[in-house]
Structure 1
Amino acid sequence: MNLKEHYNRLYVNSIENIKKDQYIIDHLIDSSSDNRFGITVLIRPSLEVKNKIQDFLNELKKSNPNQYYYPNSDIHITVLSIISCHDGFDLKTISIPEYSKIIQKSIEDIKDLEIHFQGITASNSAIMVQGFTNNNSLDQLRDNLRINFKNSGLQQSIDSRYTIQTAHSTIMRFKEEIIDKETLLKSLEKYRAFDFGKFKVEKIELVHNDWYHREHFTQQLYSFVLKTNP
């Protein structure tokens, strides 16, 4: 996949839909009855990168404070959703050590992964930061996880919603009607190619999470250290 073309196509199509008021409002963000939970393998960007993202979000908040903005604690890149969030998932029904063994096995040949957050893109329901990798390690890690989990017999729902291929991070969701569309679109265009910085991926996490990866609903189950060249 050509990531740059993919992000650009997504941006162009989504901006057109936003202009036509054909964006999707998420009505469950503030719902107390949302019980969708699952487990995810993820990467967390560096603090320096996340702080630059917050500068961008602070600009968006000035004109449209009524949308849902991700705090630093919740910003992440999904490596793979092992069990997709769904109503009724109970962590007690799975063996975390067994899942951890599969993930540890999957990262053995993964090293020197760096992610560059540059520019923003959008979907019909969210704003995202574009992520680009320095090599094929993320693709290889995902393939390792897919193969090893599917061969394990453990409960999983990998790729059941869609096959993830990007390194993006969702940072804002539409939860109400856009107040000031003109200013929002200007800000998005301003940050279309903004350089949020690079970071080396030193570890990945297995977490129990809700749909939005909110900190107070997320539990780290295990942390895995990636290899780096000396």
Structure 2
Amino acid sequence: MNLAEHYNQLYKTSSDTILNGNYDLDAKINSVSDSRFGIALLLRPSEKIKTNIKQFLNELKAIEPNQYYYPDSDIHITVMSIISCYEGFSLEKIDIKDYIKIIQKSVKELREIKIDFKGVTASNSAIMIQGFPSDESLNDLRNKLRKNFKSSALEQSIDSRYSIATAHSTVIRFTEKLQNTKKLMDVVEQFRNYNFGEFTANKLELVFNDWYQRKKNTIDLAEFNLS
């Protein structure tokens, strides 16, 4: 996949949709009855990157304070959603040790993963930071995870919703009607090619998580160091 082309097309389509008022609102993000959980393998950007992202978010908060802004603790890149969130899933349904073994096998001899966070894009309901891997390490890991999990008998839903290929990080979700859509998108446009920085991920996190990867609902299951 040509990531730059993918992000550009996504931005063009979604920004037009948002400006036309046809964006989607996330009705479940504040629901106390949302019981969608799963397990995922993540990597997290550096503190310096998060500081740069916060500056961007602060500008948008001044325009649209009532939307959902990801706190530093929740910002992440999904390496693989191993069990996509669904209602009623709990850790009691699986033996997590079996999942850890497969991930350990998949990360063996894997190099560090470098990501360049440059520019922003959008969907019909969110704003995202664009991530660009420096080499094929992330794709190689994803392919190993696909192969190893799909050849096992473990519960998994890899690629069931879509085949993950990007390295973006969602930072804003629309939860209420936008008050100043044009001004919001003007700021987004200003950061369209902003360089948030490059970071090297030397560990991965396996977590039990809700749909939004909120820290308060997350259970850390294992960490995997990258050589």
The TM tier, using the shorter chain, reads over 0.9
Distance 1:130 1:203 in 2: 20
Task: Look up the match of 1:69.
Answer: 69
C-alpha displacement at 1:112, in angstroms? 2.9
Structure 2 counterpart of 1:187, which letter? V
Q: Identify the residue that residue 27 of structure 2 maps to in structure 1.
A: 27
1:128 matched residue in structure 2 = 128
Answering whether residue 173 of structure 2 is matched by residue 203 of structure 1, we say: no
Answering whether residue 95 of structure 2 is matched by residue 95 of structure 1, we say yes
Task: Calculate the TM-score normalised by the size of structure 2.
Answer: 0.99
Q: What are the superposed Cα offsets for residues 203-227 of structure 1, whole Å, 9 maximum, x if unpaired?
A: 0010000000001001110000001
Unaligned 5+ runs, structure 1: none
The structural deviation recorded for 1:152 is 1.4
**What is the CA–CA distance in structure 2 between the aligned matches of 1:86 and 1:113, rounded to whole Å?**
29
1:169 aligns with 2:169: yes
Could you report, residue by residue, the CA deviation over 1:141-171 in whole angstroms, capped at 9, with x for unpaired residues? Answer: 0000000001111110111111110000000
Q: Detail structure 1 runs of 4+ shifted over 2 Å in the superposition.
A: none
Amino acid at match of 1:102: I
Instruction: Give the Cα separation in 1 of the matches to 2:41 and 2:64.
Output: 32
Cross-structure match for 2:45 = 45
CA distance in 2, matches of 1:213, 1:132: 21
CA distance in structure 2 between the partners assigned to 1:212 and 1:3 by the alignment: 23
Letter in 1 for 2:157: S
Shift of 1:90: 1.2
Give the 3-state SS of the residue equivalent to 1:63 in structure 2. Answer: coil
Please tell me the residue identity of whatever aligns with 1:99.
Y
CA distance in 1, matches of 2:93, 2:31: 25
**2-side partners of 1:5 and 1:109: how far apart?**
31
Partners of 2:103 and 2:17 in 1: CA distance: 39
Structure 2 residue 225 is the aligned partner of structure 1 residue 225: yes
SS at structure 1 position matched to 2:31: coil
Partners of 2:109 and 2:124 in 1: CA distance: 36
Tell me, what secondary structure is at the counterpart of 1:66? coil
SS in 2 for 1:184: helix
| Shift in Å, 1:180 | 1.0
SS in 2 for 1:163: coil
Deviation at residue 179 of structure 1 after TM alignment = 0.9
Aligned amino acid, residue 194 of structure 1? Y
Structure 1 residues 125-204: aligned runs within 5 Å = 125-204=125-204
Matched, 1:15 2:28: no
Partner SS, residue 62 of structure 2: helix
Shift of 1:109: 2.9
Q: Any gaps of 5 or more consecutive residues in structure 2?
A: none
Which residue of the partner structure matches residue 107 of structure 2?
A: 107
Identity %: 55
Q: Which moved more, 1:4-13 or 1:179-188?
A: 179-188
Q: CA deviation at 1:23?
A: 0.5
Deviations 1:45-84, CA, capped at 9 Å, x for gaps:
1011011101100000001001000000000000010000
In angstroms, what is the RMSD of aligned CA positions? 0.6
